[in-house]
Structure 1
Amino acid sequence: MTITARDIQLKQFKVKFRGFDVQEVDFFLDQLAEGFTNLEIDNRRMAESLKNAKIEIEELKAREEKLKRAYQELKKNLVSLKDEAQSPSNQNTSRMIITEAQRESERILAEARTRVERLNDDIQDLMKQKEMIDDHIRKAIELGKAILKNNDCPTNYSEDNDLKVKHLRQIP
């Protein structure tokens, strides 16, 4: 069952003798709903960032593939240029052209690889952040459940704020 911030805000509890302070429970639920809403917004934003990063990675992979094909074509052209460059007058010019072409193709490939690595690192970071947010949401829900269970709280819980804080810190 998925719990939303709206579910938390609309939750009503029956009042019983020696039960929780209704205003205090409502205030806590409002705070919990607000925090939950913020986590949901962050989660959506990070999911969108992750989606965009994946799209960009796919585009870069396609671009890298084109660059690899261009590099292979350059290698083929290099062979023909070497054949043409066998004449003494063309040898120096041909070597310079070939060397420059190799450097340029290697530079382009290195840039593409670096960009892909950075994007992969960004995706890993986003996935870790998403896991952390999911964990915070789970803990917030567990905390809310534990507080609302009357038998999990000390008997004078509703009267002593220090005991509330101590009890909350004990909940994993």
Structure 2
Amino acid sequence: MPLTPLDIHNKEFTRAFRGYDEDEVNEFLDQVIKDYEAVLREKKELFEQVTSLEEKLDHFNNIEETLNKSILVAQEAAEELRRNAQKESQLIVKEAEKNANRIVNDALTKSRKVMMEMEELKKQASVYKMRFKMLIEAQLEMLATDDWDEFAGDQSNDEVVFEEEKA
């Protein structure tokens, strides 16, 4: 068991003939007591300081652990967000491709329909042209016949009669 300042203070030495000077020994012991008390006080302060620092260290270790967990959670959340964004972008691309295909198919269908209508109009124009040509040819043929000359001669008499009636 270590000595206490009180043990040192209460220590009594046996008297011997021609021993040490009692006042000198007492002065030395008083100095030892003061130094020993200072050392014990310093030891107590250092122990309290170590205890306080250990508590702070535990606190900071807890903070570090919490931060590490938070970082892991944040990394997992970021990874999940990245995966979700990637899936969403793939869905958007697929939807855009479907829309593009639909638009292209609609355009092709309309183009075919317009082409068919154009072909039908070309046929109708060709039929119209052929009928018109046949009508003109028939009219020319009719003009080329002798019957027209007879009709033209009769008409001049009709014009004279028509003019006389006016007057």
TM-score normalized by the length of structure 2: 0.49
For CA contacts below 8 A with separation 6 or more, give which structure has more relative contact order: 1
Structure 1 or 2: more helix by fraction = 2
* TM-score, length of structure 1 as denominator length: 0.48
Q: Quick check: which has more Rg, 1 or 2?
A: 2
